[in-house]
Amino acid sequence: MLLLIRIFSLLPLSVLYLLADYLVYPLVRYVVRYRLKLVRKNIRLSFPEKSEVERNAIINAFYHHFADILVEMIYGYRVSDAEMRERVVFENMEILEDLARQKHGVIAYLGHVCNWEWIADVGKQFADKSIVEHNVYRRQKNPRADYAMLQLRAKRGGECVEKNSLLRKLVQLRHADYPFVIGLIADQKPSPRNAHIWTTFLNQDTAFLDGGEVLARKFDLGVVYANIISPKRGYYRIHFELITDDPQSVPENEITLSYARMIEANIRQQPARWLWTHNRWKYSRQD
């Protein structure tokens, strides 16, 4: 798998986009019909106010975006730092860096919005080079897929921390003498036994993982949200928004609920650019 990625990463992005348009998109959308029933259901329940025509437009645009993400991940294996700085622009970096220095560490919440893989480039764009960046990930069941994913992410800098090792890593970082940022994607469904916080999200009763909030309180970390939009194909703008600089003073669950509100607003900005193939509402509150 990694060999194929290395080979295709040699192609210009314009050529990879042609493959996305005329090979990947029709294959995934019309031939394989990858999780199409689930995507239809998720979008129908999330946007009941929209017409069938509008929802179908979101579905088609989502599969185009899904194809783009696949080829952009491949292209990211060899893209230069200079080009990445043109394609991925970070806004309000000051709040992230100031919090990292003041609180010694920051949890940066994000979601599967736009190209979440390229956000890892933030570690290379800090003005303060003493700040280190780590990204939490979930180990893949397929060892080859897991290795390929780690290699792709390593190209953008930062250390990948397996989610079950995050607590130990935070203990190590708190004893280190440099500030850090932890990138945490927290829009996946929790297992029923970890579904502690429920709220209305995209018109549905939805559980959220609360691990980021628990760790922020325990280690007194600053918390921000990375709001990401795509002004045009292949370009992304990430704006960091403060959730709290004093996690121990805010009401219980408020950090997680603030994240839920922020990512929902982010999704509604560009609804086709969220990962609708994820079975987000597999479990109900009764489960």
Question: Does residue 249 belong to any structural domain of this protein?
Answer: yes
Residues 137 and 211 in one domain: yes
d(CA 172, CA 178) in angstroms, rounded, equals: 11
Output DSSP code: residue 127: S
Residue where the block lists tokens 């297992």: 191
**Quick one: 152 and 92 in the same domain?**
yes
Statement to judge: residues 59 and 87 lie in one domain: no
What pLDDT score does 115 carry?
Answer: 94
Given this model, what pLDDT does residue 256 score?
Answer: 97
Q: In terms of domains, do 58 and 110 share one?
A: no
In a domain, 65, yes or no: yes
Q: How many domains does the chain have?
A: 2
First-last CA distance in the chain: 37
Same domain, 163 and 201: yes
pLDDT in tens, the chain (287 residues): 777 888 888 999 999 999 999 999 999 999 999 999 999 999 999 999 999 999 999 999 999 999 999 999 999 988 999 999 999 999 999 999 999 999 999 999 999 999 998 988 898 889 888 999 999 888 878 888 778 777 777 776 678 888 889 999 999 988 888 899 999 999 999 888 888 899 999 999 999 999 999 999 999 999 999 999 999 999 999 999 999 999 999 999 999 999 999 999 999 999 999 999 999 999 888 87
- Domain span at residue 38 reads 2-75
- Whether 101 and 205 map to the same domain: the answer is yes
**Strand pairing partners for 208?**
197
In a domain, 279, yes or no: no
Q: If residue 64 lies in a helix (H) or strand (E), which one and from where to where? A: helix 52-75
In a domain, 259, yes or no: yes
Residue 23 within any structural domain of the chain: yes
Q: What does each C-alpha distance from 152 to 33, 74, 98 come to in angstroms?
A: 26, 8, 29
State residue 13's pLDDT score.
97
Question: What is residue 64's predicted lDDT score, i.e. its pLDDT?
Answer: 98
Strands (E), the chain: 88-91, 105-110, 132-137, 159-162, 180-185, 197-201, 204-208, 222-232, 235-244
Query: What is the enclosing helix (H) or strand (E) of 255?
Result: helix 254-269
Q: Which of 48, 75, 102 is the last residue of a domain?
A: 75
3-state SS class at 142: coil
Q: Are residues 102 and 57 in the same domain?
A: no
Same domain, 50 and 156: no
Same domain, 65 and 173: no
∠ CA 140-264-57, rounded to 5°: 85
Domain C-terminal end among 23, 51, 75: 75
146 domain residue, yes or no: yes
The domain boundary, picked from 42, 75, 108, lies at 75
- Does 90 map to a domain? yes
Would residue 283 count as lying in a domain? no
Residues 121 and 6 in one domain: no
- Separation CA 220–CA 223 (nearest Å): 9
Whether 111 and 209 map to the same domain: the answer is yes
Same domain, 160 and 188: yes
The span from the CA of 58 to the CA of 234, in Å, is 18
